[in-house]
Copies of this chain bind each other. A is one copy, B any other.
């Protein structure tokens, strides 16, 4: 791993399409929500999703390159966290929408 420089887009380079696309996958949405729930940098391996290890790596990269998360290496682990401030600065309200949506709750309450 050799402390490779991980590519993170600058705040002003965040593209709305990219962020929306990154968030439009169920697995990635799950990852982001779990990340938000913890509210502190954590090893990405500790967030489990029903896909293989390499697929997980792929999703983390998509999220990182879209600017949704930030990752820093720490030993063998890779600490991952949401870029809350950056996202809020660039697309105010977007993260709130995504995180407010409880998986299979709002729909049910609307139906009732």
Using a CB–CB distance below 8 Å, which chain A residues touch chain B?
A: 11-14, 16-18, 20-21, 23-26, 29, 89-94, 96-98, 100-101, 106-107, 110-111
Contacts and interface: CB of A to CB of B under 8 A. Distances in A.
Given A24-B24, A106-B90, A111 B17 contact: no
Question: For the complex, would chain A's binding face be called helix, strand, loop or mixed by DSSP majority?
Answer: helix
A11 B96 contact: no
A7 to B, nearest CB: 18
A104 to B, nearest CB: 10
Contacts of A18: 24
Contact of A20 (B20, B110, B111): B20
Contacts of A93: 93-94, 96-97
Contact of A24 (B12, B20, B26, B92): B20
